Chain A
Amino acid sequence: MEFAQIATVAGKEFWDRIRNRWVLAVALVFTAFALSIAYFGAAQQGTVGFRSIEVTIASLVSLVIYLIPLIALVLGFDAIVGERERGSLDLLLSMPITRVELLLGKYLGLAGALAFSTVAGFGLVGLVLSAQLDLAALFHYFGFMLSSVLLGCAFLSLAVMLSVFAADRTRASGLAIAMWFFFVLIFDLLLLGALVVSGGQWGGEVMPYLLLLNPADVFRILNIFALEDVRTLYGLATVFPPALARSDLLGLVMAAWIALPLVIAAWRFRK
């Protein structure tokens, strides 16, 4: 594997997103939402202004869990199928580059753009809030940003996998939307439904493990378990054993969610 080839493709993908202001737009969206949540999150209760990092992160997690998977899927769904459909894939593959290098280059460039906009968007808010945060709070906020990047990378990996399997861009976009609905809206409902229907008899013990089958849930658990107040607030500790809720373990699960779809995509793309 030649890293120069990967870096060339990744660099092009990254700078394309910088030049067409995609990174700027997404970063601004993140900044605007994060600032709004930090300062006006409690407006319904009649208070305005920054309250605590715990409440802010809990609210941001609820936002990010919808927003980042959607942005990542939209960003990556046509990574390969788009090149194929436009007719530029053959030219790229006639160069001294392997299919795996091309795939990795595409992924890393897009992941870089997504990570950069995420860190820039939320980082700016972190800077604004820094005067009101102690070191521990800043640490939690940094953890939230890092896990947001991981969440984006996981869904981007799924999107790139889709883009390898899909026959055309239309189908790829449909599959990306379906994937967003499944992981963000339906998955938890299905688990809850199974619990309720079985009167709590079925699935109770395996529930924590089933939650790991959804990168959005892994992200939620990562953030919620890091903050004691929020953990209690969500009542998640009753369902999720603390032994399993170690951030290093959950980080590994997230890494698996990034790597596995890419491995499958590489396998399919090489065929």
Chain B
Amino acid sequence: MIVARGVHKHYGAIHAVDGVDLDVRAGELFGLIGHNGAGKSTMFKMMLGLIPVTAGEIRIDGAMVAGHGGANGDFRAVRRKIGYLPENVVLYDNLTGLETLQFFARLKGVSQADNHALLERVGLTHAARRRVREYSKGMRQRLGFAQALLGKPRILFLDEPTTGLDPEAIRGFYAILRRLKGEGVTMVITSHILAEIQERVDRLAIMAAGKVQACGTVQALREQMDLPLWFSVRVAPEDFEAVRAALGHLPVGAIEAHDDHIAVQCRREAKMAVIAALATLDGKVRDLGVHEPSLEDVFFGFSD
């Protein structure tokens, strides 16, 4: 669906994007994460055809949107397939919510018939005739999202889409994304809130210093990074030593005693052995939790 090959973007001596290859498959929710200045926003803008590439090419549905000689094919047809929600979306304060959608629908050349339904979808029906200047940050973000959904796009670019949304709105937002995914919409999303996207994206790319440092499913990246797991073993304090003894012969890392549990670090390959050893403790283990490394751990592992 979206293919980037050998993409470079140089601003003088600064290499904002430095030889990026990416494949975003049709119908997947793809995450693009990185520190500020990692190059993801530049990559986003090149994928949207907003800025030219220095070298390489980007294709959407086979049509080149950035590359040598600029965009080719029918760029309007490609743009009509795309919805874009920029980071900190800025809309026109003097227009109402409904007028905002009418303006962008006209620009996009799509029907106005869905405008009310879109406002309802993002929970803004009550504010349809209020000026955007009276909207809260979260309402603006939701209106921006409705704008991105105009014309039933096949590809959505969402740059920090949940900025300014309250927890309930965030949940609602991802519920919409799930439905869109069910409809086969391809989505590329960036977020600084890694915990928020780690369970939601199909695959992601971690960018640092203008390069893709890693790309794959969250689980594949965890395994690739080979980060240790953490067991949380709930036992009575008098049984702490028994746990230490049971695990003593296994290749485990740190064992930390807390008030009501012991935290045990171990490598992925020792996971089953640790479980088996704890099972020998004959009822002393009251509860057991296995904690995979978070996306944040994976991110820092690849980006630092």
* Residues of A near any B CB (own CB < 8 A): 2, 4-5, 8-9, 12, 16, 19-20, 86-88, 90-97
Contact = CB atoms under 8 A, between A and B. Distances in A.
Main secondary structure of the interface of A (DSSP, over half): helix
A96 B88 contact: no
B76 A96 contact: yes
Given A94-B48, A96-B76, A87 B106 contact: no
A1 to B, nearest CB: 11
Contacts of A16: 92, 94
Given A4-B109, A87-B88, A91-B86, A96 B103 contact: no
Contacts, number: 56
Contact of A8 (B48, B91, B94, B103): B103
A9 B104 CA distance: 10
Interface stretch (B77-85, B170-178, B271-279): B77-85
Nearest to A20: B94
B104 A95 contact: yes
Nearest to B87: A87
8 contacts: A5-B107, A19-B94, A90-B48, A91-B89, A94-B50, A95-B79, A96-B79, A97-B107
Interface of B: 45, 48-50, 75-77, 79-80, 82, 84, 86, 88-92, 94, 103-104, 106-109, 144, 147, 157
A90 B50 contact: yes
A87 B48 contact: no
A96 B80 contact: yes
Residue of A5, A12, A20, A90 contacting most chain B CB atoms (<10 Å):
A90
Given A8-B103, A91-B84, A96 B108 contact: yes
A266 B106 CA distance: 23
B86 A90 contact: yes
Contacts of A86: 90
Given A19-B94, A91-B84, A8 B50 contact: no
A86 B86 CA distance: 12
Given A94-B48, A94-B84, A88 B107 contact: no
A131 B136 CA distance: 55
B92 A94 contact: no
Given A94-B84, A96-B109, A88 B91 contact: yes
